[in-house]
């Protein structure tokens, strides 16, 4: 009897569980059905819209052809909507459409070499040589992070700018092959005047804002279904928001504080006037991305907001609260579930073709490095980057044989060493008596077995850093020789600086200000990096052999930031991310050595360096800039304010076999500049 | 009995508040400083990399963000109203460079930021310094501090709470204080040097501005006392809590929405883990007790202790690498991400159940294997205790069969201890399980709270503390009532 009761109870429980499960999955399934319907509906709308438009130049593009294409589109609708749409669009874009009266016809204009110059349009014409309509399709899977908010102006986080990089476009971009040249995107021309203070851009006609998905899902937002063209007013609005005192975007504001005026001369002409000649204004002007004015100036019902309320509303706008973004770029935000995924969908109504994937699925759940590597091995993502220790275990030690150690690009999981735009260093606090003497800093650099550490700790990933500029950059001074590991040379320099072991205790000492001081100091470092731990342990031994006592102290990131701010260190480890351009003022100008809360935390001060840093900010001619930067690096190399350790490299891996194979990676790696060679617009999936 | 319950419930209120205050104070000790806020976004924690920032000119924008999070207020008690003019002057003196400087650059920077955060209660003493002709040297830094202390950040909620005219007045006030700041320099040799040609005019205008807005800034006893308790981070947080405006700043979402979302997963896994742990451990304990001293018992005990000593993160990593990874040498047997397949909601119920079982197997194993040992050992010890009691001997003497002795008599009496063990269950339902979540990429409470702690996200941590403390207090009460239900001797003492 008792067993019967137990059995019955178990059966009832399982039944209840099943009922619960089937109830539970209802809403999810509804959502997916709704998604699919949305997709079909939107495609139909776009189709209708395109049919309603006058056919593009009839002579070369017969209506039969269009009809045939539409027919094929209808056939493919349920199966492969996005790819088919893009094909049609690609066909149309090959013809100059009536909406685009000024195509980039000056392709062979010698003045349009992309190098900034005064008085004429210098932009390289927009081009997408890598694009092939036949390659469109598939879902590209990758890892992502959930940003705290989506507004690109309010949220100053890398995740947000990455997302906007895919959904939006900028006026111009750096050329992928020669980054010193600029290529037009949303701007068809850029004319710089008045000693590089006035920029006049012609905005590309025929560019339309994406229709947010919200507008298709909810009748309340039907007013957003209208197709709105991009105009110069959108850029003016963006600048107004950045500069307005009520808008809380401190990080961006400082880049535009010298911008005197932004005006739309007409719908397609934007003029930016800067108050002084400043090289940083070039990047800030050319890289400007527009915001949809028609959304941010209205309330949820589409009614215009009062002019004065707009900036205040902008900090917490309903559009951001509903986790929406729209841009004019190739991809459109389709679904965003925080900490789950961000899904982007190829936007067929885009002015250009710069991506092959029909969908991009960014997985925000897997965050732990080992779990990420597992997901990559299980083909759940297409690309990944390995940490040094993972590189050692999986590739060098051969634990994962799908990586081909000798022929990196041949394995089922292909890999390649790539540059990471960063260098790491040990900074000496030059305010402290131990490190004021240049010879001591040079000696400390000679005592650091750079190559050995890179080989042993980083398994060869990275190059010894010589100066504060990346070796792949055009600004790099290749004539400087690294201060090689040489214990005798280090000792000689220390003796020359007055450090001797006078007490016979094996530790160097010296009179400083009438007091006998022994050479001992603390290096504060980042706690969550096993690589730094091992590096400092090796360095500690090396210094001990010279008679210097060094102790390493590791701190959590937040505490380390306080150490930088308070300049509360003898020596500190650190790393700087870099961009293609160089600007030495933030880190090296003596003005910032004494200013609180600045980035010159080591207290470097050199009159010539100051002058060079200032000149670099005012110089636009590339050769001259390179000459200044080289001279600057000579000073830095001589003074050794940092022990320049390593410019980072990492292992980039991608799926190279089977149904998940990613194509085009090798082509991009070979064709593009090392800083830009992982450009996903070159990639496409196995179809 | 009812009186007892009501008394206990009433006592919960002060306990609750006490725990929250202590928790809040501890969280705030590690809270972000304005210096960190100034560098927010420019930092890349990963690999210890940073991005060089452009000048940090716009302190007011950062200050406004700081206000939104309530971080500009002191944690539990606000004594700012008691600082006199001399106190503020001493603060300014500490900021001064020069041969006799008290502090180094870094400390000075922190002190300065600290002064800027003090808010409207510091306006009156700062104005007193400006009004004093003999303190001319300090007029520059005082006006700068005034500009930021008097700053009333424009908030999106102003649109609902203030009229157009009030908003306008607020903006004009902010702009006026901004405009009237007297330029100065902090020289390493001479200390503060005022460099502003219009300093007298600006000073006069500032005094006038203060007069015009006296009612906003003037300290009265009432204001000071009110500020002591009410203008604190704790009250700010509680107000947001009860008006439902508690926002997590690191996630940019409402705290309870976040917790609600994550709790589902944690709750489901925990409840399954508890059921498994108890249904396996109790029979195991009984079995062990019945065969105490035998070889079988020794093997069970030893293997349980062996399992107990294997750390779950280690076992988890082994599982991930050997059972969940496609590699050149093998294929995966179990999934590596989450608790269901991405397309699980298309599956029919039986297949869905299988899918859940397939995904849940390893995480549940990791969550439960450690608790088998403790629970079954408790059960075994309790039962053995009872087995040696007199009444069991009597029962045996009467000729009761062994099953009846154990299940009818001994087991019932062992249950009081199991109630004690069970009292933690309710709050355990809320607890996260960090390692298992991280290894199997399950978005539960464990990772949420871990990330919140790393980001110093006080609202999120406090919202979660509130729930776990609440559950804990309730579970203690429930356990006490259960004792009374199980044992009449205890019941008689609850009056």
**Does A1 contact B at CB distance below 8 Å?**
no
Question: How far apart, in whole angstroms, are the C-alpha atoms of residue B64 and residue B71?
Answer: 10
Among the partner-chain residues A28, A371, A575, the one whose CB lies closest to the CB of B345 is A28
Among the partner-chain residues B39, B159, B443, the one whose CB lies closest to the CB of A561 is B39
**Does A30 contact B at CB distance below 8 Å?**
no
Task: Reply yes or no on whether the pLDDT at A99 is more than 60.
Answer: no
pLDDT value of position A96: 41
Over residues A41-57, the mean pLDDT reads 62
H or E element, residue B43: strand B43-44
Looking at chain B, the whole-number percentage of residues with pLDDT higher than 70 is: 95
Specify the higher pLDDT residue, B192 or A96.
Answer: B192
* Gyration radius of chain B over CA positions: 32
Q: Is residue A152 a contact partner of residue A323, using CB atoms and an 8 Å limit?
A: no
Q: Is residue A177 a contact partner of residue A677, using CB atoms and an 8 Å limit?
A: no
Cα–Cα separations (whole angstroms), residue A418 to A422, A526, A649, A662, B2? 12, 24, 5, 17, 71
Helix axis angle, A369-377 relative to B312-323, nearest 10°?
20
Q: Count CB neighbours of A82 within 10 A.
A: 20
Our CA-based measurement puts residue A326 at a distance from the nearest CA of chain B, in whole angstroms, of: 19
Residue A251: its chain B contacts at CB < 8 A?
Answer: 41-42, 53-54
H or E element, residue B426: helix B425-428
Residue entry with tokens 């090396």: A542
pLDDT value of position A54: 54
Q: How big, in percent rounded to 5, are the helix, strand and coil portions of chain B?
A: 70, 5, 25
pLDDT value of position A60: 43
Per-residue confidence band for A67, with pLDDT thresholds at 50, 70 and 90: low
Task: Reply yes or no on whether the pLDDT at B260 is more than 80.
Answer: yes
Distance of CA A313 to the CA centre of its chain: 28
A552 - beta bridge partners?
Answer: A523
A411 to chain B: closest CA residue: B328
Residue A575: its chain B contacts at CB < 8 A?
Answer: 47-50
User: Which of B268, B267, B278 has the alpha carbon at shortest distance from B430?
Assistant: B267
Helix/strand/coil for B143: helix
| Interface mutation target, options B264, B319, B328, B362, chain A, most CBs of A under 10 Å | B328
Per-residue confidence band for A78, with pLDDT thresholds at 50, 70 and 90: very low
B339 to chain A: closest CA residue: A365
pLDDT value of position A65: 57
pLDDT value of position A159: 85
Q: Is residue A288 a contact partner of residue A301, using CB atoms and an 8 Å limit?
A: no
Over residues B345-351, the mean pLDDT reads 83
Q: Is residue A152 a contact partner of residue A164, using CB atoms and an 8 Å limit?
A: yes
Over residues B97-107, the mean pLDDT reads 80
Quote the Cα angle for A300-A302-A306, to 5°. Answer: 90
pLDDT, tens digit, 9 for 90 and up, residues B412-424:
778 777 777 777 7
**Does A146 contact B at CB distance below 8 Å?**
yes
Looking at chain A, the whole-number percentage of residues with pLDDT higher than 90 is: 65
Residues 343-382 of A with CB under 8 A from B: 363, 365-368, 370-371, 374-375, 377-380
Least confident of A181-190, A328-337, B96-105, B346-355: B96-105
Residue B171: its chain A contacts at CB < 8 A?
Answer: 246
Over residues A469-492, the mean pLDDT reads 93
Q: Is residue A275 a contact partner of residue A258, using CB atoms and an 8 Å limit?
A: yes
A322 to chain B: closest CA residue: B253
Q: Count CB neighbours of A28 within 10 A.
A: 14
Looking at chain A, the whole-number percentage of residues with pLDDT higher than 70 is: 88
For chain B, how far is it from start to end, CA to CA, in angstroms? 6
Q: Is residue A490 a contact partner of residue A443, using CB atoms and an 8 Å limit?
A: yes
**Does A413 contact B at CB distance below 8 Å?**
no
Judge: A257–B188 Cβ closer than 8 Å, yes or no: no
Distance of CA A564 to the CA centre of its chain: 24
Our CA-based measurement puts residue B169 at a distance from the nearest CA of chain A, in whole angstroms, of: 13
Residues 143-182 of B with CB under 8 A from A: 154-156, 158-159, 164, 167, 171, 174-175
pLDDT value of position A142: 95
Judge: A22–B49 Cβ closer than 8 Å, yes or no: no
Mean pLDDT of chain B: 86
| Interface mutation target, options B54, B154, B160, B440, chain A, most CBs of A under 10 Å | B54
Judge: B104–A367 Cβ closer than 8 Å, yes or no: no
B324 to chain A: closest CA residue: A374
**Does B250 contact A at CB distance below 8 Å?**
yes
Question: How far apart, in whole angstroms, are the C-alpha atoms of residue A369 and residue A386?
Answer: 8
Over residues B269-273, the mean pLDDT reads 88
Mean pLDDT of chain A: 87
Our CA-based measurement puts residue B107 at a distance from the nearest CA of chain A, in whole angstroms, of: 6
The pair of three-digit structure tokens given for residue A142, joined into one six-digit string: 């990758």
Task: Say how many CB pairs under 8 Å bridge A and B.
Answer: 215
**Does B317 contact A at CB distance below 8 Å?**
yes
Our CA-based measurement puts residue A163 at a distance from the nearest CA of chain B, in whole angstroms, of: 16
Least confident of A385-394, A589-598, B378-387: A589-598
Q: Is residue A200 a contact partner of residue A270, using CB atoms and an 8 Å limit?
A: yes
Question: How far apart, in whole angstroms, are the C-alpha atoms of residue B256 and residue B451?
Answer: 16
pLDDT value of position B158: 84
Task: Reply yes or no on whether the pLDDT at A153 is more than 60.
Answer: yes
Judge: A18–B52 Cβ closer than 8 Å, yes or no: no
Question: How far apart, in whole angstroms, are the C-alpha atoms of residue B37 and residue B116?
Answer: 13
Q: Is residue A254 a contact partner of residue A586, using CB atoms and an 8 Å limit?
A: no
Task: Reply yes or no on whether the pLDDT at B152 is more than 70.
Answer: yes
Per-residue confidence band for A50, with pLDDT thresholds at 50, 70 and 90: low
**Does A404 contact B at CB distance below 8 Å?**
no
Task: Reply yes or no on whether the pLDDT at A59 is more than 60.
Answer: no
| Interface mutation target, options B30, B31, B41, B187, chain A, most CBs of A under 10 Å | B41
pLDDT value of position A495: 94
pLDDT, tens digit, 9 for 90 and up, residues A353-411:
989 999 999 999 998 899 999 999 999 999 999 989 999 999 999 989 899 999 999 99
For chain A, how far is it from start to end, CA to CA, in angstroms? 61
pLDDT, tens digit, 9 for 90 and up, residues B198-256:
989 999 999 999 999 988 898 899 999 999 989 999 999 889 888 888 888 888 888 98
- Cβ-count burial A94-131 (b if 16+ within 10 Å, e if not): eeebeebeebbeeeeeeebebbbeeeebbbbbbeeebb
In a 13 Å sphere around the CA of A148, the CA atoms on its Cβ side amount to 21
Residues 402-431 of B with CB under 8 A from A: none
pLDDT value of position B68: 80
pLDDT value of position A521: 96
Over residues A253-282, the mean pLDDT reads 93
**Does B60 contact A at CB distance below 8 Å?**
yes
Per-residue confidence band for A97, with pLDDT thresholds at 50, 70 and 90: very low
pLDDT value of position B345: 77
- Cβ-count burial B8-17 (b if 16+ within 10 Å, e if not): eeeebeeeee
Distance of CA A355 to the CA centre of its chain: 17
pLDDT value of position A383: 96
pLDDT value of position A58: 42
pLDDT, tens digit, 9 for 90 and up, residues B60-73:
888 887 888 888 88
Over residues A35-43, the mean pLDDT reads 70
Residue B255: its chain A contacts at CB < 8 A?
Answer: none
Question: How far apart, in whole angstroms, are the C-alpha atoms of residue B228 and residue B241?
Answer: 20
pLDDT value of position A76: 55
Our CA-based measurement puts residue B426 at a distance from the nearest CA of chain A, in whole angstroms, of: 21
Cα–Cα separations (whole angstroms), residue A456 to A369, A388, A450, A531, A645? 21, 10, 10, 10, 14
Residue A18: its chain B contacts at CB < 8 A?
Answer: 349-350, 353
Sign of CA dihedral A51, A53, A54, A59: negative
Judge: B48–A248 Cβ closer than 8 Å, yes or no: no
pLDDT, tens digit, 9 for 90 and up, residues A500-537:
998 889 999 999 888 889 999 999 998 888 889 999 99
Cα–Cα separations (whole angstroms), residue B295 to B7, B291, B301, B302, B486? 52, 9, 10, 11, 35
Q: Enumerate domains of chain A plus CATH numbers.
A: 115-132+177-329 (3.40.190.10), 423-647 (3.10.105.10)
Q: Is residue B237 a contact partner of residue B78, using CB atoms and an 8 Å limit?
A: no
**Does A246 contact B at CB distance below 8 Å?**
yes
Task: Reply yes or no on whether the pLDDT at A242 is more than 90.
Answer: yes
pLDDT value of position A80: 52
The pair of three-digit structure tokens given for residue A111, joined into one six-digit string: 């003045």
pLDDT, tens digit, 9 for 90 and up, residues A554-581:
988 878 888 888 888 999 999 998 888 8
B338 to chain A: closest CA residue: A365
Residues 566-585 of A with CB under 8 A from B: 566-568, 573-577, 583
* Gyration radius of chain A over CA positions: 29
Our CA-based measurement puts residue A100 at a distance from the nearest CA of chain B, in whole angstroms, of: 39
Q: Enumerate domains of chain B plus CATH numbers.
A: 78-231 (no CATH), 254-491 (1.10.3720.10)
pLDDT, tens digit, 9 for 90 and up, residues A165-215:
999 999 999 999 999 999 999 999 999 999 999 999 999 999 999 999 999
């Amino acid at each position: 009897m008792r067993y019967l009761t137990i059995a019955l109870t178990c059966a009832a429980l399982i039944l209840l569980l099943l009922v619960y499960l089937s109830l539970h999955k209802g809403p999810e399934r509804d959502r997916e059905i709704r998604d699919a319907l949305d997709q079909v509906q939107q495609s139909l709308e776009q189709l209708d819209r395109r049919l309603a438009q006058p056919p593009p130049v009839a002579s070369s593009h017969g209506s039969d052809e269009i009809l045939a294409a539409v027919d094929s589109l209808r056939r493919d609708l349920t199966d492969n909507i996005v790819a088919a749409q893009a094909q049609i669009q690609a066909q149309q874009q090959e013809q100059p459409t009536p909406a685009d009266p000024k195509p980039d016809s000056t392709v062979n204009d010698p003045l349009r070499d992309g190098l900034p110059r005064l008085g004429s349009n210098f932009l390289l014409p927009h081009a997408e040589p890598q694009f092939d309509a036949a390659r469109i399709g598939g879902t590209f899977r990758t890892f992502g992070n959930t940003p705290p908010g989506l507004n690109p102006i309010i949220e100053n986080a890398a995740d947000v700018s990455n997302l906007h990089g895919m959904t939006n476009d900028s006026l111009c971009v750096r050329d992928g092959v020669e980054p010193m040249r600029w290529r037009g995107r949303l701007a068809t021309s850029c004319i710089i005047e008045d000693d590089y203070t006035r920029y006049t851009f012609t905005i590309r006609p025929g560019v339309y804002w994406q229709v947010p998905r919200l507008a298709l899902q909810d009748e309340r937002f039907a007013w957003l279904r209208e197709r709105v063209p991009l105009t110069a007013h959108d850029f003016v609005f963006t600048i107004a928001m950045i500069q307005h005192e009520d808008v809380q975007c401190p990080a961006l504001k400082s880049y535009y504080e010298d911008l005197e005026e932004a005006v739309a001369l007409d719908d397609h002409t934007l003029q930016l006037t800067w108050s002084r000649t400043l090289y940083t204004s070039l990047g800030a002007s050319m890289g400007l991305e527009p915001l949809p004015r028609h959304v941010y100036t209205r309330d949820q019902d589409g009614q215009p907001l009062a002019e004065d309320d707009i900036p205040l509303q902008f900090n917490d706008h309903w559009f951001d609260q509903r986790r929406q973004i729209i841009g004019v770029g190739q991809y459109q935000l389709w679904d965003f579930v925080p900490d789950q995924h961000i899904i982007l969908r190829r936007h067929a109504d885009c002015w250009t073709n710069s991506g092959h994937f029909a969908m991009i699925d960014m997985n925000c759940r897997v965050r732990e490095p080992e779990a990420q590597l597992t997901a990559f091995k299980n083909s759940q993502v297409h690309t990944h980057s390995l940490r040094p220790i993972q590189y050692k275990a999986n590739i060098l030690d051969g634990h994962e044989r799908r990586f081909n150690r000798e022929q990196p690009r041949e394995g089922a999981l292909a890999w390649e060493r790539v540059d990471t735009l960063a260098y790491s260093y040990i900074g000496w606090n030059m305010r402290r008596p131990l490190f004021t003497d240049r010879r001591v800093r040079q000696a400390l650099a000679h005592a650091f077995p750079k190559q050995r550490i890179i080989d042993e700790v980083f398994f060869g990933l990275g190059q010894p850093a010589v100066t504060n500029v990346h070796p792949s950059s055009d600004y790099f001074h290749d004539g400087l020789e690294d201060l090689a590991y040489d214990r005798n040379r280090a000792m000689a320099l220390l003796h020359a600086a007055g450090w001797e072991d006078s007490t016979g205790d094996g530790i160097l000492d010296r009179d400083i200000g009438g007091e006998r001081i022994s050479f001992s100091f603390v290096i504060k470092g980042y706690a969550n990096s096993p690589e730094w731990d091992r590096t400092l342990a090796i360095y500690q031994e090396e210094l001990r052999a010279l008679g210097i006592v060094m102790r390493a102290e590791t701190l959590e990131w937040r505490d380390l930031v306080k150490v930088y701010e308070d300049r509360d260190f003898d020596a500190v480890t650190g790393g700087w991310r870099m961009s293609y351009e160089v600007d030495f003022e933030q880190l090296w100008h003596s003005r910032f050595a004494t200013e609180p809360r600045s980035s010159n935390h080591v207290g470097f001060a050199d009159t010539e360096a100051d002058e060079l840093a200032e000149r670099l900010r005012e110089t636009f001619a590339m050769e001259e800039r390179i000459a200044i930067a080289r001279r600057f690096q000579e000073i830095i190399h001589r003074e050794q304010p940092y022990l320049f350790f390593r410019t980072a490299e990492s292992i980039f891996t991608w799926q190279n076999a089977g149904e998940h194979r990613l194509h085009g990676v090798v082509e991009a790696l070979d064709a593009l500049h090392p800083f830009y060679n992982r450009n996903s617009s070159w990639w496409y999936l196995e179809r | 009995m009812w009186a007892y319950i009501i008394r206990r419930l009433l006592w919960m209120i002060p306990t609750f508040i006490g725990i929250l205050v202590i928790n809040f104070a501890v969280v705030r000790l590690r809270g972000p400083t304005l210096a960190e806020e100034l560098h927010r976004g420019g930092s890349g924690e990963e690999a210890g990399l940073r991005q060089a920032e452009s000048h940090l000119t716009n302190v007011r924008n950062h200050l406004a963000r700081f206000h939104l999070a309530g971080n500009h207020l002191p944690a539990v008690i606000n004594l700012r109203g008691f600082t006199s003019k001399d106190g503020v002057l001493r603060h300014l003196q500490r900021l001064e460079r020069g041969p006799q400087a008290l502090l180094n650059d870094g400390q000075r920077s922190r002190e300065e930021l600290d002064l800027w955060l003090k808010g409207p209660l510091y306006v009156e003493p700062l104005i007193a310094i400006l009004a004093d002709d003999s303190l001319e040297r300090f007029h520059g830094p005082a006006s700068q501090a005034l500009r930021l202390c008097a700053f009333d950040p424009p908030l999106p909620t102003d649109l609902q709470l203030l009229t157009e005219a009030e908003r306008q007045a607020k903006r004009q006030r902010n702009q006026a204080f901004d405009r009237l700041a007297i330029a100065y320099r902090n020289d390493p040799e001479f200390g503060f040097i005022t460099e502003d040609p219009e300093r007298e005019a600006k000073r006069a205008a500032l005094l006038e501005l203060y007069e015009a807005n006296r009612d906003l800034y003037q300290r009265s006893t009432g204001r000071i006392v009110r500020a002591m308790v009410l203008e604190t981070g704790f009250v700010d947080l509680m107000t947001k809590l009860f008006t439902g405006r508690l926002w997590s700043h690191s996630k940019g979402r409402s705290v309870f929405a976040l917790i609600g979302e994550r709790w589902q997963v944690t709750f489901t896994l925990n409840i399954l883990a508890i059921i498994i742990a108890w249904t396996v451990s109790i029979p195991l304990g009984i079995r062990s007790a019945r065969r105490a001293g035998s070889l079988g018992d020794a093997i069970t005990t030893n293997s349980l202790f062996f399992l107990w000593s294997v750390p779950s993160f280690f076992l988890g990593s082994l599982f991930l690498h050997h059972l969940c990874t496609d590699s050149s040498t093998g294929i995966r047997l179990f999934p590596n991400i989450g608790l269901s397949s991405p397309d699980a909601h298309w599956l029919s119920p039986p297949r869905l159940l299988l899918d859940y079982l397939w995904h849940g197997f390893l995480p549940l194993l990791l969550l439960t294997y450690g608790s088998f040992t403790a629970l079954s050992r408790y059960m075994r010890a309790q039962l053995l205790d009872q087995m040696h009691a007199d009444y069991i001997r009597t029962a045996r003497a009467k000729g009761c069969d062994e099953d009846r002795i154990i299940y009818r008599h001994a087991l019932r009496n062992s249950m009081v201890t199991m109630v004690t063990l069970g009292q933690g269950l309710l709050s355990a339902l809320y607890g996260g399980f960090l390692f298992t979540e991280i290894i199997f990429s399950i978005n539960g409470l464990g990772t949420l709270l871990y990330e919140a702690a790393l980001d110093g996200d006080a609202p999120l941590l406090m919202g979660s503390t509130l729930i776990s403390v609440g559950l804990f207090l309730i579970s203690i009460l429930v356990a006490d009532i259960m004792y009374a239900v199980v044992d009449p001797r205890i019941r008689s003492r609850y009056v």
